[in-house]
Amino acid sequence: MAVQRGLESSRPAGTRLFGDPIASQFVSLPWRVALWGARWAVARRTIETIYDLLGGPGPRASAIARTKLIDDLICEASSSISQLVILGAGYDARAFRLDCLSKCAVHEVDHPNTQAHARAILRQAGTPTAARLEFTAVDFERDDLRDALITSGYQPSRRTMFLWEGVTQYLPDEAVEKTFSAIRRAARKDDSLIFTYVDEAVLHGDHDRFPEAAKWLRGTAKRGEPWIFGLPPSGLRQYLLTRGFSLVSDLSAREAGERYFPQQGRLDRGSDLYHIATTTVS
């Protein structure tokens, strides 16, 4: 994601969907050099073409479309929420780059080891601490999410948005169940949750509808992060209801991309296998 967001950020201001000036700090040295070169259009197009050939059509465009859509959803809600909780935050930089969060407390939640690594990189890069950003270290195998959040300043009585992006497909069923339950206990009624998931059909070999899936799946498995969890879009509403959530919207990355790419005359196309769902606590 840091590479994909870095590539998008290398575009001129008028042609990119978002800017993430911190993304390049989280990538390896070769990619850092590549992102530096991507400021020139010819180099960027070459890098994107090679990336799409190796990773398959879909991953890069889907990552960009999902990031932009989630950014917009957060900013649309920012006037009505006072807290944003980002689960599995990794190298998320929204607390630094979204002006709409300037008056909103942001809690980045992740495993202690992952969080320590991210914070070390930010310190080495000399990145100033974002106002109202709290790092909440949670080991979901041992820690209670609500208790950990309260310790870091989370206030259960205040309106909150939860974000769980780019995580579910890597988790076993029981871990997904446990996290939904943890969010439900930490949230108040009508709090919102945005999360991403993949269509479970791709995990069962349905590559006729999703021709990009085979290369995508091979790539994630080769990196040691195979996809093992998915949901059926047609059954999502009922799945959420039984877990205490109400579905508000469910867009594929292709549908999200269609909101943004054509306006800039871009041919990027997100994938139908990747989804962004918005829900509220019942």
Q: Tens digit of pLDDT for each residue in 147-189?
A: 999 998 999 999 999 999 999 999 999 989 999 999 999 999 9
Residue 142 pLDDT > 70: yes
pLDDT tens for each residue of 53-77: 888 778 999 999 999 999 999 999 9
Residue 130 pLDDT > 70: no
Instruction: Give all domains of the chain, ordered by start, each with its CATH number.
Output: 57-281 (3.40.50.150)
Residue 131 pLDDT > 70: no
Query: What is the value of pTM for the model shown?
Result: 0.94
How far is residue 154's CA from residue 146's CA, in Å, rounded to a whole number? 8
pLDDT tens for each residue of 240-278: 999 999 999 999 999 999 999 999 889 999 999 999 999
DSSP 16: -
* 3-state DSSP of 115-173: HHHHHHHHHHCCCCCCCCEEEEECCCCCCCHHHHHHHCCCCCCCCEEEEECCCHHHCCH
Report residue 171 as tokens: 């988790």
